[in-house]
Amino acid sequence: MMSLSGVSGLIETHKAVRANRGVAPGCRRKQLLRGLLVLLLAGLAACTGPAPVRPEPPATVPAETQDTPAEVQEQVREPARRESAGVQVHPLQNPAVKAMLAEAGQAESQGDYDRAAGSLERAMRIQPRDPEVLQAMAEIQLHKQDYEQALNFATRSYDDGARVGEICSRNWRTIGVARGHMGDSSGAAQAELRAGQCMNTKPASY
């Protein structure tokens, strides 16, 4: 059965919490009022029931212990910027989306990748298919070492993007890095090749 449980069953959380701060379901008034003097001790005993146990939500993302901010910079952004010197595509961008990208960038530089992802989701609600936003999300996923999502967001950014120039190069470099981490070395090499073709300004055949 899918229904509710199916739909929501697909939802995963990546941060364990203990939201419940010592909320003991205390003995209730009605029970107490019914209790007689002789039940005093018994009642006391009944009040020391087990504390609630919080089910731990599944953690799907490894803890952010091995931060690799250098990877995104050195293997994605920097080479893409270098190569694309002659091929620049500057699509008009919504100022609200730009503001959210800036906010995400700030959170990223502070190492707060959850907050960065939150800002990028806000940007996506405004402009769902902005390739810059999608690629920024892919890079945040690289930081978080969620390589599958990095791959998925980069692919989507490529599908919706210019498929040429710097953003294209960042797309394929991210895909390459992600595939490498996922053990797909031939896929990574292929992505490297595609990144190289992003600077090919020859238009597609007509």
Partner 1 sequence: MSPGSGTIYFMATSNRNGSAARKINQPVPGRGWSGGIWRLLLLVFGVFLGLLVPWALYLDYQVTSEFEGRKWDLPSRVYARPLELFPGERLARADLELELKFAGYRSSPAADKPGRYHVSGQTIDIFRRSFQFPEGTEPPRLLRVILADDSVAELVDLKAGQAMDIARLDPAEIASIYPLQKEDRTLVRASEVPTLLLTGLQAVEDRHFKQHPGVDLSGIFRALLANLKAGRTVQGGSTLTQQLVKNYFLSGERSVARKLNEAIMALLLEWHYEKVDILDAYLNEIYLGQQGDLAVHGFGRASVFYFNQPLDRLEPQHIALLVGMVRGASWYNPRRNPERALERRNLVLDVFAETGLLSAAEAEAAKAQALDVTENPQGSGSQYHAFIELVRAQLAQTYRESDLKSAGLRIFTTLSPVEQEKAQRAVTAGVDQLHQTGLPAALQGALVLVDTMSGEIRALVGDRYPGREGFNRALNARRQVGSVIKPLVYLLALEHPESYSLLTRISDAPVVLNQPNGKQWVPTNYDEKSHGEVTLLHALTQSYNQATVRLGLQLGVNNLLHKLEQFGISVPIDEVPSVFLGAVELTPLEVTQIYQSIAAGGYSVPLRSVVAVQTADGGELVRYPLRLMPQTQREAIGVLNYALTQVVQQGTAKALPGLLGNSTLIAGKTGTTNDRRDSWFVGYTRDRLGVTWVGLDDNGPAGVTGSNAAMRVWAELFKDLPLEPVDLRMPDGAFWLWVDDKTGALTAQNCPGAIEVPFVSGSEPTTSTKCMAEASEENDESFWSKWIDRNP
Dihedral over alpha carbons 186, 189, 193, 194 (to 10 degrees): 70
Of 71-79, 80-88, 94-102, 169-177, the segment contacting partner 1 by CB under 8 A is 94-102
Alpha-carbon gap, residue 82 to 195, rounded angstroms = 12
Instruction: Give the binding-site size for partner 1 (rule: CB under 8 A).
Output: 66
Site for partner 1 in 99-128 (CB under 8 A): 99-100, 114-115, 117-119, 121-122, 124-126, 128
Q: Does 57 bind partner 1 (CB under 8 A)?
A: yes
Cα–Cα distance, 76 to 179 (Å, whole number):
13
Residue 192 CA, chain-centre distance (Å), reads 23
Q: Identify whether the C-beta of residue 177 lies closer than 8 Å to the C-beta of residue 71.
A: yes
Binding partner 1 by CB under 8 A: which of 81, 129, 185, 189?
129
The residues, ordered by sequence, that sit 6+ positions from 53 with a Cβ below 8 Å of its Cβ are: none
- For partner 1, the binding residues in 164-193 under the rule CB under 8 A are none
Interacting residues with partner 1 (CB under 8 A)? 1-15, 17-29, 32-33, 37, 40, 43-44, 47, 52, 54-55, 57, 94-96, 98-100, 114-115, 117-119, 121-122, 124-126, 128-129, 149, 152-153, 155-156, 158-160, 163
